[in-house]
Amino acid sequence: MVAAIRQLSAGSQAIASGEYQKRLPDGGTDELAELARNFNRMAEVLAQVEASRVALITNVAHELRTPLTALQGYAEALNDGVMPTSHAATSILRETRAMERLTSDLSLVSKVEAGRIEFHLQDFDVSSVFSAAEERFQPLAERRGITLKVEPPDTNMMVHADGERTAQVLANLLSNALNYSPAGSTVTLSAVAEGRQVSFLISDQGTGLTQEQQEQIFERFYRVDTSRSRLGGGTGVGLTIARGLARAMAGNVQVASEAGRGSVFRFSLPTPESFRVPSRPA
């Protein structure tokens, strides 16, 4: 017993000093063995958190490096007098906006994951969100040579959610579909009532996703096609934000896809009936 306690003490000191790979022998069936197993589970979680922290720092540094390198190049060109001031100003503004977009998205991701987003939940008609989404994304679809097909939802199809955040999730999903769809293809937005929830379906005819990609696509900074995403101005956290906001409104975002056959993103939200208390019989 004394030896086991000493091992636990040494392991705790190792964890406290940042040695998250430290593990204790957990053989046996007594209480000390159970304590060792719990200690090892705790160490595993801490190791995963530390790995996520390191990955986040690495990814943020990588995302900032591209605009910073561009800004340095424009500044040097201005200093050497080889670039017109007006052209440099336009390019510098573009890069600073990219950095601003990244910091804004990162701030939103942290608030979503910490549960610090304020929501204004209410009942509203799905058709209003569809109309706004079509008006916003039709010009982008036309510029990319993509057909945006919006199928009007049934009359009085209602959800209970935050209207502004719902539009934000839908915008992230539509933007993602348009960024990864080839010219000449079709992106379809539709809705279907499923019990006590309504699902928004965003279907594309892109390259599709493998099973491994489907498991990773909602992770921060994950990109299926890095070059195409950068071309579209993405920060790599749009789907992370979309799923986080949806879940915070008692909904979810899921994907069904097959490599080479396109993808369908399903954004579900609860209906007003989900929050009504059943009346008791007299």
Q: Does the CA dihedral 167-170-172-176 come out positive or negative?
A: negative
Show the CA angle centred on residue 226, arms to residues 54 and 213, nearest 5°.
75
pLDDT in tens, 122-132: 999 999 899 99
- Report d(CA 120, CA 146) in Å as an integer: 34
pLDDT, tens only, 9-30? 888 888 888 888 888 887 767 7
What pLDDT does residue 230 have? 46
Instruction: Using alpha carbons, select from 172, 182, 126 the residue that is nearest to residue 150.
Output: 126
Identify which has the larger pLDDT, 47 or 26: 47
The residue ranges of every structural domain in the chain are 1-116, 121-275
pLDDT at 235 over 70: no
CATH fold of 1-116? Helix Hairpins (1.10.287)
Packing angle, helices 163-179 and 126-143, rounded to 10: 30
**Fold observed for domain 121-275:** Heat Shock Protein 90 (3.30.565)
Over residues 44-49, the mean pLDDT reads: 83
pLDDT at 228 over 60: no
